[in-house]
């Protein structure tokens, strides 16, 4: 029988609230070593209690299971698991390999004691509430802690992929590109992205020769002249761009991929465009607080300093 006191007590609920606030507010407003470790600290306390509630037979063993899972999660061995999960899930997760995070394992005696002496929760629980009211938000908070606030960082490649980052400018596309050139920022068409967007169209332009599978020759046949013309047209009209390198202070940001899109302003739509940032590369294997600090540096240097005068 599940012990609802394990997730309806004030210790568990406080951990969930702190976890949510830290990952969605404190980390970005007060970036520091403390906020970088705070989520792991409260997470390692609430996870064993959550596991014991979900699997009552585990009892105190959930503490050891949580510790082993945390070590696995913070190790390179979890990378394949994350890739498989992200391939099938609509919500991507990530983590940064930082072995200093393992220091929070020293807190495991706290949930061990709370689970073993669960009767102490009798006077510290919310009685008139269904467990589902707490359980589902807790799972959501745990899932969202594995995401970034608007971006996903891959420590192995240093890539920052943005989900929804754009800003408007009172310029046409041609004027904006001219201004970038005046700033000695070399912008080229993002041919990799353009070709990727054409893959289904290219497939429709050709045909498969099944006999070539056994007899030899070209299995997929396409009119190369027609294909070249289509690709050149798409590149010419595309608004997908890339900046190979951009110097920001003493650091260099690479492969900045972005698109320039119309910004539908009711007053003067023709003079407005929006830059939509897709991806860029920074240093590899940074922890969360350093990624957030680097983003602030990029934002202040590029957007606030360079683009504000455009």
The pLDDT value recorded for residue 175 is 87
Sign of CA dihedral 21, 22, 27, 29: positive
Other beta carbons within 10 Å of 167: 12
Give, in degrees to the nearest 5, the angle at Cα 28 between 24 and 32: 120
pLDDT tens, position by position, 3-45: 888 888 888 999 999 998 888 778 766 767 788 788 899 999 9
pLDDT tens, position by position, 125-160: 787 788 888 888 888 777 666 554 567 777 778 888
Q: How far is CA 110 from CA 15, 118, 141, 266, in A?
A: 13, 12, 21, 57
Q: What 8-state DSSP symbol labels residue 69?
A: H
Rounded-to-integer distance, Cα 196 and Cα 194, Å: 5
The pLDDT value recorded for residue 69 is 92
Q: What 8-state DSSP symbol labels residue 38?
A: H
Give, in degrees to the nearest 5, the angle at Cα 108 between 106 and 112: 145
pLDDT tens, position by position, 236-283: 999 999 999 988 777 888 999 999 988 755 555 456 788 888 889 988
């Amino acid at each position: 029988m599940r012990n609802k006191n394990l997730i309806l007590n004030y210790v568990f609920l406080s951990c969930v609230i702190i976890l949510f606030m830290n990952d969605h507010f404190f980390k970005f407003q007060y970036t520091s070593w403390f906020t970088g470790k705070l989520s792991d600290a409260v997470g390692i306390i609430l996870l064993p209690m959550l596991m014991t509630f979900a699997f009552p037979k585990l009892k105190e063993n959930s503490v050891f299971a949580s510790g082993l899972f945390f070590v696995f999660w913070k190790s390179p061995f979890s990378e394949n698991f994350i890739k498989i999960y992200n391939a099938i899930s609509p919500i991507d997760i990530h983590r940064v390999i930082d072995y200093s995070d393992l220091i929070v394992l020293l807190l495991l005696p706290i949930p061990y004691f709370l689970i073993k002496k669960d009767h102490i929760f009798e006077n510290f629980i919310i009685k008139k509430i269904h467990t589902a009211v707490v359980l589902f938000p807790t799972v959501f908070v745990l899932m969202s802690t594995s995401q970034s606030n608007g971006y996903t960082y891959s420590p192995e490649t240093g890539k920052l992929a943005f989900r929804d980052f754009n800003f408007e400018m009172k310029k046409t596309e041609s004027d904006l590109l001219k201004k970038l050139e005046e700033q000695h920022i070399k912008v080229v068409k993002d041919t990799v992205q353009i070709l990727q967007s054409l893959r289904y169209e290219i497939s429709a332009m050709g045909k498969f020769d099944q006999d070539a599978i056994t007899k030899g020759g070209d299995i997929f046949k396409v009119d190369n002249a027609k294909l070249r013309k289509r690709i050149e047209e798409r590149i010419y009209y595309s608004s997908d761009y890339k900046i190979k390198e951009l110097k920001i202070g003493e650091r260099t940001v690479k492969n900045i991929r972005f698109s320039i899109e119309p910004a539908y302003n009711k007053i003067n739509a023709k003079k407005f465009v929006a830059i939509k940032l897709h991806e860029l590369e920074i240093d590899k294997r940074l922890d969360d607080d350093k990624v957030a600090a680097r983003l602030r540096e990029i934002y202040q240097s590029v957007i606030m300093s360079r683009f504000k005068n455009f």
